[in-house]
């Protein structure tokens, strides 16, 4: 008789030392509520500056001091709510807090909507003169340059206020998808070859797909997809609303397309996006070769998507969380003692990481915080080498945030996603290199290559494919064409079929729903930056590992730059030019070498 299906532990069963350090942000939820109530009365403080920014440099400096303090406080309230809900979407109080905090944040942005129109009215030359004369404005030169670069897309104060207010209702789209997929979709359990039931959820799906039992992988993959398919019309309608939101913002700000709007914000040349897509399509045969090698190793007649994560080595190392921290620390030693000791304190003493899976925990992993908090990480650690890699990835984000927050003023305390995915993949490249050099065991090396290929599969196969999907559905919306679940699923299945080639069996319905399984699709043209990020990361890691003069120093300068310079320029400073396809081509060469090595080790 099959055993009863085990369940993920409730949030209350997770030991406090394994959870994020929420009390370092607010000692209790009562304190959060008190701060929230107080901020409701302070958001209006910004209105006293309206119409006065052009009076003098001192008046402008006073505004920024007031805004910076308010922005930090509201950010703490917002972050605390989002992190609480992400770790337990079954927590209805946390869900309500996200709504409250999101509305508060939107109110603050709407209340400050007058700023950029007033600055533009002051004029570039006068503003730069003020930057020179008023010490409290001395850091604003880059911001002024960027503001006037974006001038054609900044609307009147009234329009900016409306756009700011629209952020709140539009933000519910992603929250709706998150609640539906993390808390309300009932996934049927997977079944192993003996008939035992295994729970399928956002915190367990990756572990199930890595099972050596093909029946576990098949039933987990199918039942996970089927959970989404049961709500495909709802999810498609919700994503269509998000796509139309992107089109609305693009047109309201007078961009020609959603893609242009997304790239222009951070001064990314469109050629970067198109170089990636074109280079990806040219190199799809590398993926076809990998599927052939994997099919040979597994000894199956037909490879299916659920076989992509099947273990290939005879044994898979168990990697407890503390061992993962140690390996990541060793791998990052080329960056120096300060980097490593900060990372270790964060993981082992300051509780940056919400470590283990629980019921209601959001899928995936992310790094999030605010200037003045720790750079926290949410993940579901399952003692695998792949989880160690995820930790290294998120610590790249967190250390990027740490250095930026330590170095930059509030206005530059965030960095674009284009820069963010460099730091995360850079960490993985260094840690992987360290482990390849220090552990020559055949099975360990195969497992490590599997981890690398899993990472490449996500960032260099799935994400470019999703980017192609995203471009197509946005262009259809811009042309006024209808978007339905059938249209989205058909397009997604076509794109994956091209990438899989003849080596892979394609279940069009279940492959077609892949778009719904990635919350990234609610962030306008975000996913392509995973692929550009991994490309820049490998280019920079090569310089550091080769001992190239200035490589470490320039990389740390990049981490500290925040948004004080354009991301494309910060990467040039660090040593890579993303306006050419060279970094993408080189990273496909890295991928090909992994396929070659895997083929050698398994023959």
CA distances from 358 to 7, 48, 292 (A): 9, 46, 36
CB atoms closer than 10 angstroms to residue 129: 13
Single out the residue of 523, 503, 535, 424 nearest to residue 178, CA to CA. 523
Q: How many Å apart are CA 345 and CA 363, to the nearest integer?
A: 26
Catalytic member of 160, 161, 222, 394 = 394
Task: Name 303's bridge partners.
Answer: 504
Please confirm, yes or no, whether 498 is among the known catalytic residues.
no
The residue to which tokens 């049961």 are assigned: 230
Q: How many Å apart are CA 80 and CA 374, to the nearest integer?
A: 11
Task: Name 198's bridge partners.
Answer: 190
> Helices 551-561 and 567-574 sit at what angle, rounded to 10 degrees?
160
Say if CB 278 and CB 580 are below 8 A apart: no
Single out the residue of 97, 47, 46 nearest to residue 68, CA to CA. 46
Residue 300's SS3 state is coil
Q: In sequence order, which residues have a C-beta less than 8 Å from that of residue 45 and are 6 or more positions away?
A: 66, 70
CA distances from 528 to 204, 280, 533 (A): 26, 11, 9
Single out the residue of 591, 589, 572, 248 nearest to residue 449, CA to CA. 591
Q: How many Å apart are CA 10 and CA 357, to the nearest integer?
A: 9
Task: Name 39's bridge partners.
Answer: none
Residue 320's SS3 state is coil
Say if CB 111 and CB 46 are below 8 A apart: yes
Residue 319 burial by Cβ neighbours in a 10 Å radius (0-12, 13-18, 19+)? buried
Q: How many Å apart are CA 594 and CA 599, to the nearest integer?
A: 9
Q: How many Å apart are CA 559 and CA 333, to the nearest integer?
A: 16
Annotated catalytic residues are 394
């Amino acid at each position: 008789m099959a055993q009863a299906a085990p369940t993920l532990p409730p949030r209350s069963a997770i030991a406090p030392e394994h959870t994020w350090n929420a009390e370092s942000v607010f000692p209790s939820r009562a304190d959060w509520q008190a701060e929230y109530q107080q901020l409701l009365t302070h958001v209006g403080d910004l209105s006293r500056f309206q119409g006065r920014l052009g009076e003098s440099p001192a008046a402008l400096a006073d505004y920024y001091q007031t805004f910076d303090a308010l922005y930090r406080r509201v950010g703490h309230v917002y972050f605390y709510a989002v992190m609480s809900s992400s770790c337990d979407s079954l927590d209805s109080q946390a869900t309500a807090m996200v709504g409250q905090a999101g509305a508060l944040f939107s109110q603050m942005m709407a209340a400050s909507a007058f700023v950029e129109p007033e600055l533009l009215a002051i004029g570039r030359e006068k503003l730069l003169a003020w930057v020179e004369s008023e010490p409290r404005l001395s850091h604003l030169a880059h911001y002024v340059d960027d503001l006037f670069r974006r001038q054609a897309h900044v609307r009147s104060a009234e329009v900016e206020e409306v756009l700011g207010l629209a952020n709140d209702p539009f933000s519910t789209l992603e929250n709706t998808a998150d609640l539906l997929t993390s808390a309300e979709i009932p996934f049927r359990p997977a079944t192993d070859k003996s008939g035992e039931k295994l729970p399928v959820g956002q915190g367990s799906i990756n572990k199930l797909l890595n099972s050596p039992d093909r029946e576990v992988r098949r039933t987990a993959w199918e039942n996970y997809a089927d959970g989404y398919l049961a709500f495909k019309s709802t999810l498609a309608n919700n994503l269509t609303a998000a796509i139309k939101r992107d089109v609305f913002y693009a047109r309201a700000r007078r961009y020609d397309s959603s893609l242009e709007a997304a790239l222009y914000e951070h001064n990314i040349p469109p050629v970067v996006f198109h170089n990636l897509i074109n280079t990806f399509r040219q190199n799809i045969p590398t993926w076809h070769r990998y599927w052939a090698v994997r099919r040979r190793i597994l000894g199956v007649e037909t490879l299916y998507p659920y076989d992509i994560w099947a273990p290939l080595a005879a044994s898979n190392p168990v990697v407890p969380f503390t061992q993962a921290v140690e390996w990541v620390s060793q791998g990052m030693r080329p960056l120096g003692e300060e980097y490593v000791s900060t990372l270790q304190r964060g993981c082992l003493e300051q509780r940056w990481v919400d470590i283990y899976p629980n019921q209601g925990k959001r899928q995936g992993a992310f790094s999030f915080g605010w200037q003045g908090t720790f750079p926290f990480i949410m993940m579901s650690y399952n003692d695998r080498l792949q989880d160690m890699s995820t930790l290294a990835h998120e610590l790249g984000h967190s250390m990027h945030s740490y250095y930026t927050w330590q170095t930059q003023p509030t206005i530059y305390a965030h960095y674009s996603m284009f820069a963010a995915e460099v730091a995360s993949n850079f960490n993985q490249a260094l840690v992987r290199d360290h482990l390849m050099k220090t552990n020559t065991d055949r099975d360990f090396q195969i497992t490590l290559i599997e981890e690398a290929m899993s990472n490449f599969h996500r960032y260099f196969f799935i994400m470019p494919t999703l980017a192609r999907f995203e471009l197509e559905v946005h262009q259809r919306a811009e042309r006024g064409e209808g978007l339905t679940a059938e249209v989205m699923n058909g397009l997604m299945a076509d794109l994956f079929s091209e990438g899989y080639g003849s080596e892979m069996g394609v279940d069009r319905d279940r492959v077609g729903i892949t778009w719904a399984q990635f919350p990234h699709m609610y962030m306008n043209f975000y996913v392509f930056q995973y692929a550009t990020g991994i490309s820049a990361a490998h280019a920079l890691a090569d310089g550091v590992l080769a001992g190239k003069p200035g490589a470490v120093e320039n990389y740390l300068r990049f981490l500290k730059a925040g948004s004080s310079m354009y991301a494309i320029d910060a990467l040039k400073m660090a040593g890579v030019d993303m306006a050419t396809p060279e970094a993408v081509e080189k990273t496909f060469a890295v991928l090909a070498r992994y396929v070659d090595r895997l083929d050698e080790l398994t023959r």
